[in-house]
Amino acid sequence: MQSYGGWTGKTLRVNLSTGKISQEDTARYKEYLGGTGVGYRVLWDEVPAKTRSFDEANKIVMGGGPLTGTSAPCGGRTSITTIFPCVYPTELVGTGHMGGHWGAELKYAGWDNVIVEGKSDKPVYIAISDDRVEIRDASHLWRNGIYRATASICQEMGPETQVAAIGQAGENLVRMSVVMNAFSHSAGGVGSVFGSKKLKAVAVRGSGSIKIAANAQEWKKLRRYVLSLMGGNNQHVVPSTPQPWSEFSAPRSRWTARKGLFWGAANPVIETGECRPEELNRIGFRTMKATYDLGPEAEKHTVRMGGCASCPIRCHSQIDVPSVEAKYGVSRYAASTCVGWNGRMYFKSFPDGPAGTTSIEAAVVGKHMADDYGVWTCYSQLQRDFRWAYENGFIKANLPAEEYKSIDWSKCEAGDPGFLKELYRRIALREGEFGIAFGEGPGYLAARWQFPQSYFNSEATHYWKMGHPGHHANEDAGQAGVLINLIYNRDAQCHSHSNFVRNGLPTSIQKQLAEKLWGSGAVDDVQNFTRMNPDKAKFAVWALLRKELHDSLTLCNWMYPMVASPLKSRNYEGDNGIEAQLYSLVTGDRKDAAELDLVAERIFNLHRALTIRDMGTAEMRTVHDVIPDRIFDLPENKQPFTPGTNKMDREDMETAKDLFYQALGWDRKTGAPTRATLERLGLKDVAEKLAGMGLLPV
Amino acid sequence: MPDFDTAEPLEILAEKVRDSSRNGKILRLDEVWPGTEAEFIEWRQAQASTGTGDIVLMRERGRAILYSERHMTRAYAEAAACAVYEDIRYAIAQTVRGESRTYPRPTPLALFGEAPFLFSKQILDEAVEAMLTDPDYGDIRRIQASDGSGFLFSSVHMDPAHAESLAEWMAVGHMRNP
Amino acid sequence: MPLYGAWSALLPDSGEVILENAKGMIVADSTRCVGCKLCELACTEFNEGRSQPSLARVKISRNYNFGPRGQQAGFNRGMGEFGNLRLVQDVCLQCPHPVPCATACPYGAIVMDPKTGARVVDQKKCRGCRVCQRACPWEMTTFNETTAKASKCFLCNGEPECVAVCPTGALRFVSWNNLTKAVPVRQAILPVTKDYVSAGCSNCHSKRR
């Protein structure tokens, strides 16, 4: 790897059973890039079929990729791949994705990835200081939250250490648990795997460097080009209010900066103002996320924006809500983004309305509880499950009477954020039936409490399959959205498609852009979908492959791909080859978009192969790629493909699967990758293994 | 910035227009030019100044408007012209019909509280109420999302069912599916 | 112009005393810093071709978690991402005379760039002794472990890369002002000055001429 930029060339392996710490050449993973690519390869090669999440044989693969830690815009992501605990009823491969600064620091320490194997019998943490790696005693950290663990480790290793840690939830093998770094950046669902290995944290500080293969001028020019095409958060390319410089606007665009909108708790206050596309030194103001997520009341609480390493967008709001300290005993300072604020969703109402001060207090208390205990809320599934179970009497029915009485439900009814301290503590510490059940994740919860069919078919619960919710499905992108939600063993965490359809441009322009990429039939007017066509299959495939690419390079899938841009001079066209250009210049391994997409396809197919292997069946189409009935049945009074609904049609979705599998080179009947496809992608050994297990379609 | 001692009058005028456009404001021709529209066009063509090609003279409903396309899009200029120089109902209708046709999507009432409109709630409510019974605006319909927020759409350009579901998606659905 | 008389002919490494002020400097607005650390990366990627925050000549990472004073205040009580959310950027103040790093350098390796007035480490003269790292009260001299030479902010020949790359304009390149009394110091310095250097000081600063 010496000749390449980007990679450090070293992969760290830590065996917690034997205490052995070793180093490997990353070269063997080059054709899998990093992140999820390496994760799936390690799981395939080293973790036996049907290994369970908490088995000693399960492994954790964490790290970024060649771009992580460089100034590649939005290149600060980390993937944590393992056998994912929330998958119901069989634990299968899954990835938690976190931003922040950990992945970059790992690269500066000289490591591309960390593979953790085995199990410690005592609480430990892994301390990485450049090439000095130790397994250290963590008994003084066990039973403490993520905040204390982070602070403690920083005292041992230095205040600039980046710490990825679990809280009590992970320790207690709560399936709905996370690994956190940098105060607000969590990797969903993987915390309890750390806990099962008695691994409290992986902490890293690095003084080293990453080589950029291209010369400075070339690199600078590419960066400027990428920034010139950049929009706001989620690559929304129009502002949210009419502004002189823009032809279009869209009320729910994340390009929310405007005159009269301030970082109101900045000292002194700063106006976000009009941020024109050519003002590259104002990109960081474009997305005023606090008011976007929390409503207008949040303006006066906004200190600034923040987020991941190397990202100019800054989509994490950093807020100051002084009242929570005296009232609830949590810090007034909080940071998060999107669903991270959804402590509010546990409550039906607040005394001062849905977007008043109390709702913001609830968001802050919820953040601190979830992020310190390390509980995963799974795209707000935990909140939805709680509300549904509460409103439909399942909590009362399933808790012993004593336990039910011990919970102060009046606080929940009153919209009192203090309720969250009780709720999260019980879940993190597995207290009682309530704590255990809600920590199990939707699939196990539903089984445990025997939820009826109405739970699985409820728009209110948003349940999809296998213990996870839908995430940007038909409501965003019709059939393409549904297809995207079939593939993973957790919620899809794919935004390639939703970024595009929500970018604020008129559908007619989106179709023009789509014409060059997948065919203009790929996108419809939202809520006015048309029948399936091959363009939509191409769109879904592109979205998924790019997501895997981003989780391996790494780049932020909430910003890339950048196929639309805010520039009228380019007819709003972005550049579908940006990832390849960044990859080529950083590593020196020149690949064009198609060549890099082939690598992504390899990674994507390996995930599918793992799923097939560990489910013990190739019948993906019928057994795995399941679509909840509600997509076809609700709302009752609408017909699919009529204006005003995102309802889909069963036959049409069968056609969709046909076209989708065909586009991927997968067997139409089973949805399993064929030998030809696997071999085309350099996965001949995977094909052989699957064939030997009778899991290769004939 | 032109040197005012030596600059051509057209350059000076252009700077004034640009300055306004930069601040989101359009200018009526009669605010900066004493003569007729035809005289202005003739005068402009006769000027030696180059580099003022970004200054656009736009005619809207009998009025002549100036803006700089370096700092303002035509779409915004049209909206600003409507908002400033037209009656409120016409401004609302133009916007709503435009959005229903272009995106397509219904228009949140809240939009009219933003620049370039800046209508007060009272004025907006009164105008909308009047429009709903005015045959000139027979295509403008009002709908409400489940959170109470109001939208307008044009039935000429959007199916009511589509408008309703999009309003719900914009007001509530987006937040539930962030 | 050598100012320590005949002695200078005997001491080839004493170098010139920097007397002139710098023409420009970088100033940092901590209200605008959003913690992306692109400034650190621009500094080293565009100058050394490597992403290396530890070498960067503008400093964010070391203050990111707990602020400039480290962990003294616990969690959520100090500055930084784990404090009151304020991120403080450390920049070179391009000190006026007497320039601490230059004065401490035994080899006269820190000189003034005539174009910008920036105080720069002459890589040919630097012997890698690291004294300058302990001489800067703001701990702004860094060290390139690969070349074994010291490094410091040289304003990128008048077009600072960090300034260009900042997504909120939190760093600006402005005319120089003396901010050495305005910015709290970061470390206790090692008061090392070679006698042949300090002897030269009396040429200007002593009543005995």
pLDDT tens by residue, A574-587: 999 999 999 999 99
Q: Which residues of A touch C54 (CB under 8 A)?
A: 108, 206-209
Residues A56 and A178 in one domain: yes
Helices A684-692 and A593-615: angle between axes, nearest 10 degrees: 20
What ranges in chain C are assigned the alpha helix state H?
7-10, 38-48, 61-64, 100-104, 131-135, 161-165, 195-205
β A60-63/A132-137 pair status: unpaired
Answer yes or no: is pLDDT of A515 > 50. Answer: yes
Which residue range is the domain that position A65 belongs to? 10-205
Answer yes or no: is pLDDT of B8 > 80. Answer: no
**Interface C:B, ≥3 CB–CB pairs < 8 Å:** no
On whether residue A418 sits in a domain, the answer given is yes
CB contact under 8 A, A160 and C62: yes
On whether residue A240 sits in a domain, the answer given is no
What is the pLDDT confidence band of residue A236, given thresholds at 50, 70 and 90? very high
CATH number, domain of A126, equals: 3.60.9.10
Lowest-confidence pick of A34-43, A153-162, B2-11: B2-11
> What's residue B46's pLDDT?
86
Q: Residue A405: helix, strand or coil by DSSP?
A: helix
DSSP letters spanning A468-509: EE--S-HHHHHHHHHHHTTS-SS-----HHHHHHTSS--HHH
Residues A200 and A307 in one domain: no
Residue numbers of A between 475 and 494 with CB closer than 8 Å to B: 475-476
> What's residue C200's pLDDT?
80
Q: Which residues of C touch A107 (CB under 8 A)?
A: 51
Q: Residue C50: helix, strand or coil by DSSP?
A: strand
Give the neighbours of chain B: at least 3 Cβ pairs within 8 Å: A
Answer yes or no: is pLDDT of B59 > 50. Answer: yes
CB contact under 8 A, A148 and C75: yes
Interatomic CA distance for residues B76 and B92, integer angstroms? 14
β A199-205/A210-211 pair status: unpaired
CB contact under 8 A, A245 and B115: no
Which amino acid is it at A578? Answer: I
Strand runs labelled E in A189-231: 199-205, 210-211
pLDDT tens digits, A393-433 = 999 999 999 999 999 999 999 999 999 999 999 999 999 99
* The domain boundary residue, chosen from A149, A172, A205: A205
* The domain boundary residue, chosen from A389, A424, A454: A454
What residues contact A460, with CB distance under 8 A and at least 6 apart? Answer: A384, A387, A388
On whether residue A236 sits in a domain, the answer given is no
Residues A199 and A328 in one domain: no
CB contact under 8 A, C36 and A307: yes
CATH number, domain of A311, equals: 1.10.569.10
Tell me the sheet residues that pair with A60.
A116
On whether residue A133 sits in a domain, the answer given is yes
pLDDT tens digits, B91-105 = 999 999 999 999 999
CB contact under 8 A, A643 and B159: yes
How much is the average pLDDT of A141-170? 97
**Interface A:B, ≥3 CB–CB pairs < 8 Å:** yes
> What's residue A188's pLDDT?
98
Residues A303 and A446 in one domain: yes
Mean pLDDT, all residues of chain A? 98
> What's residue A1's pLDDT?
82
Interatomic CA distance for residues A231 and A278, integer angstroms? 10
Mean pLDDT, all residues of chain B? 92
Answer yes or no: is pLDDT of A369 > 80. Answer: yes
% of chain A at pLDDT higher than 70? 100
Q: Which residues of A touch B161 (CB under 8 A)?
A: 638, 642-645
On whether residue A170 sits in a domain, the answer given is yes
What residues contact B150, with CB distance under 8 A and at least 6 apart? Answer: B108, B109, B142, B143, B144
> What's residue C1's pLDDT?
43
> What's residue C72's pLDDT?
83
DSSP letters spanning A604-654: HHHHHHHHHHHHT-S-IIIIIS---THHHH-STT--TTSTTB----HHHHH
Answer yes or no: is pLDDT of C191 > 90. Answer: no
Structural domains in chain A (count)? 2
Q: Which residues of B touch A298 (CB under 8 A)?
A: none
What is the pLDDT confidence band of residue C204, given thresholds at 50, 70 and 90? confident
CB contact under 8 A, A71 and C42: yes
Residues A178 and A85 in one domain: yes
What residues contact A176, with CB distance under 8 A and at least 6 apart? Answer: A86, A169, A189, A375, A376, A377, A378, A382, A427, A438, A439, A440, A441
What is the pLDDT confidence band of residue C4, given thresholds at 50, 70 and 90? very low
On whether residue A123 sits in a domain, the answer given is yes
Distances (CA, A) of A483 to A340, A648, B59: 26, 12, 49
Q: What six digits make up the tokens of A112?
A: 């591309």
User: Is the previous residue joined to A159 through a cis bond, with omega within 30 degrees of 0?
Assistant: no
On whether residue A476 sits in a domain, the answer given is no
How much is the average pLDDT of C17-32? 97
* The domain boundary residue, chosen from A205, A235, A252: A205
Answer yes or no: is pLDDT of C9 > 60. Answer: no
ipTM of the complex: 0.96
CB contact under 8 A, B104 and A507: yes
Residues A185 and A331 in one domain: no
Answer yes or no: is pLDDT of B4 > 90. Answer: no
Interatomic CA distance for residues C31 and A263, integer angstroms? 10
> What's residue B49's pLDDT?
67
Residues A113 and A14 in one domain: yes
Residues A433 and A315 in one domain: yes
pLDDT tens digits, A589-646 = 999 999 999 999 999 999 999 999 999 999 999 999 999 999 999 999 999 999 999 9
Residues A16 and A162 in one domain: yes
- Go through the domains of chain B in sequence order and give each one's CATH number: 10-79 (no CATH), 87-176 (1.10.10)
Residues A299 and A197 in one domain: no
Query: Which of B75, B114, B165 has its CB closest to that of A241?
Result: B114
Answer yes or no: is pLDDT of B50 > 90. Answer: no
pLDDT tens digits, C112-140 = 999 999 999 999 999 999 999 999 999 99
How much is the average pLDDT of B51-80? 93
> What's residue C74's pLDDT?
76
Residues A160 and A22 in one domain: yes
On whether residue A616 sits in a domain, the answer given is no
What residues contact A29, with CB distance under 8 A and at least 6 apart? Answer: A11, A37, A38, A41, A112, A113
How much is the average pLDDT of A354-376? 98
